[in-house]
Structure 1
Amino acid sequence: MLDTVDAILSRALNNHDLTPEEGVVLLTARSPDAIAQIRRTADVLRQQQVGDTVTYVINRNINFTNICEQHCSFCAFRRDEGEDGAYWLDLEQILQKATDAAQRGATEICMQGGLNPKAKRNGTSLAYYVRIIEAIPQAFPDLHLHAFSPQEVQFIAREDGLRYADVIVALRDAGVGSLPGTAAEVLDDDVRRVLCPEKIDTATWLEILRTAHQQGMPTTSTMLSGHIETPMQQMRHLQHLRSLQQSALERGDRGITEFILLPFVGQEAPKPLRRRVGRDQPVLTDALLLTAVARIFLGRWIPNHQPSWVKLGLAGAIEALSWGCNDIGGTLMEEHITTMAGAQGGTCMEVETLQGAIATLGRPYQQRDTLYQPVRSPEVQAA
């Protein structure tokens, strides 16, 4: 087994794209020596592809409503209208949060929410979304708006009878600068039929991201891992992302700016899925191995990789920086979706806390914007 792992890693270090089957071999490695070699290879590729500097972004999450028509089996965030804990922020509340973010030095607002059929203005869904977006750049023209998942794009298009491109162009023209590649979960329809049967299928998710790229809208990409999916399903997910990015780059589009692994947190998830998964918190060793394999498989095409300190805790996220990640994510300022699922990583991170944690690795850190451009000159080398 170790010889096979060695051969696969040698191919990766020689700039060859691995097959999903080779990725499965790495994901199912069990010997400590093989896992150590996978980690070292991911770390070497990270250094070659993006260097040693660890980046971070000062941002704020705004989850504007948790009222949602869908019933995903892993979600503890959604509520029905009128249910205890249901909320729906009005425009004034959204602007208050944006004001607070700007005053605290944020360069990005990340906005997503539940699929609320009553979220309409003048009878249309798109008009509502445009309204809550355009008010922010009017007040804060320097804030980058990273907003609305492919699922939300499909929801707006369905409600108003529009093409995906129509929705994306309208959001872009209203001020959205990039699209979160969330609602991906695992891009395998057998998994999606269990996790999120009401959500868009794999082909639609990919179509919406492709359309965004074609309209000049960069996106991120994610994977919700560590629940019912198999190693091959994980690798097929990564293959979908790699193929999507290769096509974007061939067209001259920016495409996908980063890959974020989101390990499953099930503490407050509905009981049927909790029983099936059999645990409430992520398994760090599994998340780190998948982090490394994702760098090896995607890194030449999607060079920026980010762990989730909300899901893994800050210590786990810092550990992931030695398994192929180069970015520690954002300050968030508030976070509801994962926290309501029972995550223990917190909802807000101060810049100084992120910097101090990175400094324990002896690597430099750098504030960046949403599109990975440096915001200031490089910080001093960590001691």
Structure 2
Amino acid sequence: MKLAQVLEKAIALEDLTVAEGIFLLAQTQPSELEEIRSAADQLRKKLCGDRVSYVVNRNLNFTNICEQHCHFCAFRRDEGDEGAFWLDNAQLHEKAADALARGATELCMQGGLNPGAKINGRSLDYYLDLVQSLKSAFPSLHIHAFSPQEIEFIARQDGISFAEVIIALKDAGVGSLPGTAAEVLDDQIRRQICPEKLNTATWLEIVSTAHRLGLHTTSTMLCGHLETPRQQIEHFDQLRSLQQKAIENDYPARITEFILLPFVGQDAPAVLRKKVGRDQPDLAKTLHLTAVSRLFFGQWIFNHQPSWVKLGLSGATEALLWGCNDLGGTLMEEHITSMAGAQGGTCLTVAELRGAIASLGRIPVERNTLYEKLNSPFGSTALMIS
């Protein structure tokens, strides 16, 4: 296998095989890495041009009380623990009003799996009340909320189907789902890092069901811990297949973006931190994987975003040279990663995001959650068309 041929194939929008993806990750010489970076940047420009998008949004983590004990998570608490929280609607409204005043178009909501979060004995009724309360008070804000794990939790608690949960949340005002809780889509790894979480097949089923029912999702991978290069590429392959399924079946929704989430171990549980042996992400390896993800997803997932919370703004800006075309959101607050010891901060201003983009000679473009430029279409490649 020759590097130049694999890169030429990717730039020509031919799908790389799993073996070719693994081959790209095996290249470690500076000259080889530069060829991979350059090819990913070339493909980014071919698909997305020189615009780099961002969204003005606010994170709302409504509770950190959680029934599960993921080995990478420093966020979760048991009820009654020091640091446990569960925000009521009035507190969430205050945060949403502040976000709107600061120009936000999106609320990103995720929380722990709190067994006590019920109304009339039903988990779904609690989540519906949460969404309806915010949507009625702030109708202009797009609600990007609830991971596949949260969908599974609601369905399991109430004994109903995933489709019933998704339809009810959509009708209440949820506009899209975050594709988190994917971690690595390999059950061997999941048993090591998140043994209580939903399995790979269930994650894929829920995301595909959301697409079929008209809710766009994002996609992610937790990287830089115990996973192998093969498991990384096979994760990419399953996401690419999921996107192809949505397009081939003409589902009304699909994956809007891919985000690498490098492991932060500084304050994470010792069981995984000690095995990884590193507190902060390895930027060089993250950038290499960023480029390979762009080349592997090709025409299927256009929008690639780094995590400035995990990499810092300088690291995330560098990722724009390795295939990324989006710099994420303002967030305004962030708890899950910062509680693990991330050093990238919890809030960026629009001026900081635009300045980082402009420093590379790229064109800053404010978008909404669904990758539409505000007030006009965001180009023909906004949503991974067929």
Q: TM-score range by the shorter chain?
A: over 0.9
Q: Does 1:338 align with 2:333?
A: no
**Which of residues 211, 235, 243 in structure 1 aligns to 2:209?**
211
1:173 to 158, 171, 174: 171
Q: Which residue of 1 aligns with 2:92?
A: 94
**Counterpart check, 1:16 vs 2:21:** no
Aligned residues of 1:58 and 1:108 also touching (Cα < 8 A): yes
Question: Aligned to 1:337, what secondary structure does the other structure show?
Answer: coil
Alignment-derived partner of residue 195 in structure 1: 193
For residue 94 of structure 1, give the secondary structure of its aligned residue in structure 2: helix
In the TM superposition, 1:287-326 aligns within 5 A as 287-326=286-325
Q: Higher mean Cα deviation, 90-99 or 145-154? A: 90-99
Q: In 2, Cα distance between the equivalents of 1:19 and 1:99?
A: 47
Ranges in structure 2 where 5+ consecutive residues have no aligned partner: 378-386
Q: Which amino acid aligns with 1:60?
A: R
**Structure 1 counterpart of 2:284:** 285
Find the residue that maps to 1:48 and give its secondary structure.
helix
Name the counterpart of 1:329. Answer: 328
Aligned to 1:58: 56
- Residue equivalent to 2:111: 113
Q: The residue matched to 1:223 in structure 2 has which SS?
A: strand
Report the alpha carbon displacement of residue 26 of structure 1 after superposing the two structures with TM.
0.5
Partners in 1 of 2:375 and 2:208 — Cα distance? Answer: 32
Q: Report if aligned partners of 1:367, 1:376 keep a CA contact under 8 Å in 2.
A: no
CA apart distance, 1:377: 7.2
Q: In structure 2, what is the Cα distance between the partners aligned to 1:272 and 1:149?
A: 24
CA contact (8 A) 2:13 2:298 kept: no
Q: Deviations over 1:316-355 (max 9, x none)?
A: 0000000000000000000000000000000000000111
Aligned equivalents of 1:264 and 1:351: distance in 2? 26
- Identity among equivalent pairs (%): 64
Quote the offset at 1:299 in angstroms.
Answer: 2.9
2:29 alignment partner, one of 25, 31, 35: 31
CA contact (8 A) 1:366 1:376 kept: no
1:10 CA drift (Å): 1.4
* Residue equivalent to 1:381: none
Maintained 8 Å contact 2:15/2:298: no
Q: Deviations over 1:341-373 (max 9, x none)?
A: 000000000000111111110111100000000
Structure 1 stretches of 4+ moved >6 Å: none
Which residue does the alignment assign to 1:270? 269
RMSD of aligned Cα (Å):
1.2
TM-score, with length taken from structure 1 = 0.97
Distance 2:261 2:236 in 1: 13
Total equivalences in the alignment: 377
Q: Which SS does the other structure have where 1:237 is aligned? A: helix
8 Å contact 2:10–2:298 — kept in the other structure?
no
Q: Secondary structure of the equivalent of 1:74?
A: coil
